[in-house]
Structure 1
Amino acid sequence: MSATWYECKVKYRKTHETGEQKVSTDTYLLDAVSFTEAEARINEEMAAYTSEEFKIMNIKVANFSEIHPFENSDRWFKSKVSLIALDEESGKEKKTNIYMLVQANDVKEAFENTTQAMQNTMGDYTIPSITESPILDVFPYFSGDEEELDEIPNNEIAVLAEEEI
């Protein structure tokens, strides 16, 4: 099952590098099952992030099909990827656009990271655009079971998965 990603705009008082406090509206991304869960999760994440009062200004479903974090990168970029397929009936090329969120330090690195994320793709694709995203941080859902799986050898994970089916 794929995750549904929600963009959450949060307004709060933020201390800038100069030491002065200003009201800022920032965008965060998180995955959740519903708007209600997204609101609860952003409240939880922001409570840990700031001790100031904050207000959730907007929550909307984001159109990202994949999220790709990369180490040593501090900004998020929205990559538009056009998947190219041949329509067998008409014989024409058909493009399907998907959007990926890729972490990088600049547009050039975002292009390289998008290419790296697409390296196992069997079909043809193009990258028509990459733009910097207003998203400051991404909060993926962790159930807590991830740590337990790290301690189990890979061959046993497959056995555990088969037992649950």
Structure 2
Amino acid sequence: MFYEIKLKVEKENSKGEMKEVVEHFITDVGLFAEAEANGLEQYNGNCDEYNGNCDVISITRSKVIEIVNEKEEGKPFYKATLIDIFIDDNGNEKETKSYTLVCAKDITEANRLMQEHMRLGLNDMRLDGIVKTKIMDLI
């Protein structure tokens, strides 16, 4: 299960001023406590970068079910919405949504990577949309 973690950190901006910012991460663990431990590890491991001022402010279960590729430096994560259409027991058409993360340099590359990924066994699903996320890394 994926959890999204938000860290409040103090960083120096381009003008040399210290500003509080919120950084977003995602982690793949089984328990909420493990997600918190990963956030604290990120916090403790990078305190020098954050001038010693950082805190885990939020942990939520993510609706993301899969990460397509590895995070690459300088490339953001995009969240793709996939739609699966099926017929229920009463004969009614139903839709279920699932979300997938893909690391890409831009939305065009994200779309291409998702199309390739879907050809590997998700042919019955439809790509409904892709949006850039604030998630910085998988921890």
TM range (shorter): 0.7 to 0.9
CA positional deviation for 1:15: 2.8
Relative to its length, the structure with more strand (as a share) is 2
- Give the aligned CA root-mean-square deviation in angstroms: 2.2
TM-score of the pair, normalised by structure 2: 0.83
Query: After the TM superposition, which residues 14-93 of structure 1 pair with which residues of structure 2 at under 5 Å, given as runs?
Result: 14-51=11-48, 52-70=52-70, 71=72, 74-87=75-88, 90=91, 93=93
| Larger Cα-atom Rg | 1
Q: How much identity, in percent, do the aligned residues show?
A: 27
Runs of 4 or more, structure 1, over 4 Å off, are 70-73, 86-89
Mapping of residues 85-164 of structure 1, within 5 Å: 85-87=86-88, 90=91, 93-121=93-121, 123-139=123-139
The answer to whether the 8 Å contact 1:85/1:123 transfers is: no
SS of equivalent residue, structure 1 residue 65: strand
Q: How many residues align?
A: 135
What amino acid is aligned across from residue 75 of structure 1 in structure 2?
A: P
CA pair 98-45 structure 1, distance change in 2 beyond 3 A: same
Task: Mark the runs of 5 or more structure 2 residues left unpaired by the alignment.
Answer: none
Q: 1:33/1:16 Cα in 2 relative to 1: closer, same or farther (>3 Å)?
A: same
Structure with greater helix share of residues:
1
- The normalised TM-score by structure 1 is 0.72
